Amino acid sequence: MSCFRRDDGNSPFYLNPDDFDNLLSNETITSKFIGLIMVHSINPNDHYMNIYAPDIIINRLRKVLSTNSNQTNDYKLIMIRGEGDIPNCEMLYPEFINKKIDYLKSIKKRKAATTSRKLVDLKLPYISFETKSKVGGIWKVRKNIKRRGHHQKG
């Protein structure tokens, strides 16, 4: 397996992508998928990183790390860099959906039995459950719009 370490001796190992498949198929090594995270920044001097992850993933990480420090098991954390866009808030914090659903249910109840209780609107970033009016055309996502000012002259 071709692993290498940076010269400072404290940086993590880097695996060749071909060797990663061999690592997972090795019968003597047990691997467990913990979840997806987004790395915000890494501080190599103080040996920490800032990540974005749902609470459930953070709890899984804490459990594995605390088990590792309390027992003789030698767990290693392997992070794999992925390609693509940052996932929607629904993936990062699935409770957003449940809160919005509860809010919509409470509106229906209020309309059905006009109560005097005040409801607070729950605003969620990038999430909308309301339908859009199709007056003036169908709403479609436009991709790769080429504007005159963006063409390169060459």
Averages of pLDDT over each 10 residues, the chain, 154 residues: 44 61 63 77 86 83 76 69 65 67 75 56 56 60 62 55
Rounded to an integer, what distance in angstroms lies between the CA atom of residue 66 and that of residue 46? 20
Task: Give pLDDT, residue 81.
Answer: 73
Residue 113 has what pLDDT?
Answer: 64
Mind listing the pLDDT tens digit for each residue in 118-140?
545 555 555 555 666 666 655 66
pLDDT at res. 66: 80
- The pair phi, psi for residue 3, each rounded to 5°, is -105, 150
Domain locations in the chain?
3-70, 89-142
Provide the pairing of β-strand 14-15 with 3-4. Answer: antiparallel
Q: Half-sphere exposure (CA, 13 Å, Cβ side) for 59?
A: 3
- Residue 24 is predicted with a pLDDT of 60
What does the alpha-carbon distance between residue 75 and residue 59 come to, in Å, rounded to a whole number? 16
